[in-house]
Amino acid sequence: MPGPHSTAPAQPSLQARQIRKSFQSGAVRVQVLSDLSIEVRAGELTLISGPSGCGKSTLLSILSGLQHPEAGQAMALGQDLGRLGRRALERFRLQHTGFVFQGFNLFPALTAVEQVQVPLGYLGMRDREARARACRVLEEVGLAGRMDMRPWQLSGGEKQRVAIARAMAKEPQLLFADEPTSALDAESGQRVIDILHRVARTHGTTVLCVSHDPRLVRHADRVVGMEDGAIRSDWRPPVPVLETTP
């Protein structure tokens, strides 16, 4: 029995309960997710790993409210996403979620700092405050000297760090990353995953990342393996032990 000073474990920030999802492909109905259940907690980088077509991106879309399951329940921050109307769901995503995609999704004509400011304007933040926050977040991802550059002047890794900064600027409780390193070289991919891990640890953010990139495994707090629409493994990589000199 818990003692008087014990605390109950924090509620999971994301939950899928018996989720099912299928898609029509010509005359064939393809089952993508089959009675899948998972809980994800804050302050961790959770990696959903598996081969292409295993359903990992569909799971991310459902947990972020971009898609609805055919059966089951998707919960985010204690809210049943299936019970929210379209406008309420859009507002929820605006206020509580950030997204990072493989293709960066940057505006060609905007500078890095302007890219990061865009979502802050939708939140009603004044221009001066929005620019100050955008500058601060760009500094956090190592782009202090690239704020006035446009996408064509940035490398792939720098573009992805701008996209991460844009997602971080809203200070979301939930950060979703879909194949964030697959278009990057090894060094750039390393920097991106380090930043995502740091966001989870230092900001207490729930970071859910889907990828088939094996480089990400050793940087995640938790690795969930998927295959054929179901979870096949769920484990935590060992924490590296630092060697000490006598």
95, containing H or E segment: helix 86-96
Identify whether 208 is part of a domain.
yes
Identify whether 24 is part of a domain.
yes
Name the nearest CA neighbour of 159 among 176, 181, 175, 178.
181
d(CA 198, CA 164): 12
50, containing H or E segment: none
The two three-digit tokens of residue 50, written as one number = 């598996």
Give the pLDDT confidence of 17-39 residue by residue, as tens digits.
999 999 988 888 889 999 999 99
Backbone angles phi, psi at 87, to 5 degrees: -70, -40
Task: Identify whether the C-beta of residue 159 lies closer than 8 Å to the C-beta of residue 108.
Answer: no
**Domain of residue 170, CATH code:** 3.40.50.300
In this prediction the pTM is 0.91
Identify whether 151 is part of a domain.
no
The whole-number pLDDT of residue 215 equals: 81
The whole-number pLDDT of residue 198 equals: 94
- Provide the 10 A C-beta neighbour count for residue 182: 13
Identify whether 4 is part of a domain.
no
Identify whether 123 is part of a domain.
no
d(CA 22, CA 35): 11
Number of domains in the chain: 1
Intra-chain end-to-end CA distance of the chain, in Å: 44
Q: Look up the domain containing 99 and give its range.
A: 14-106+156-235
Identify whether 1 is part of a domain.
no
Identify whether 146 is part of a domain.
no
d(CA 96, CA 173): 5
Identify whether 62 is part of a domain.
yes
The whole-number pLDDT of residue 114 equals: 97
Residues 6+ away with beta carbon under 8 Å from 112: 138, 143, 146, 147, 148, 149, 150, 154, 162, 165
pLDDT in tens, the chain (246 residues): 444 444 445 789 999 999 999 998 888 888 999 999 999 999 999 999 998 889 999 999 999 999 999 999 999 999 999 999 999 999 999 999 999 998 899 999 999 999 999 999 999 999 999 999 999 999 999 999 999 999 999 999 999 999 999 999 999 999 999 999 988 998 898 899 999 999 999 999 999 999 988 888 888 999 999 999 999 999 998 865 444 444
Backbone angles phi, psi at 91, to 5 degrees: -65, -40
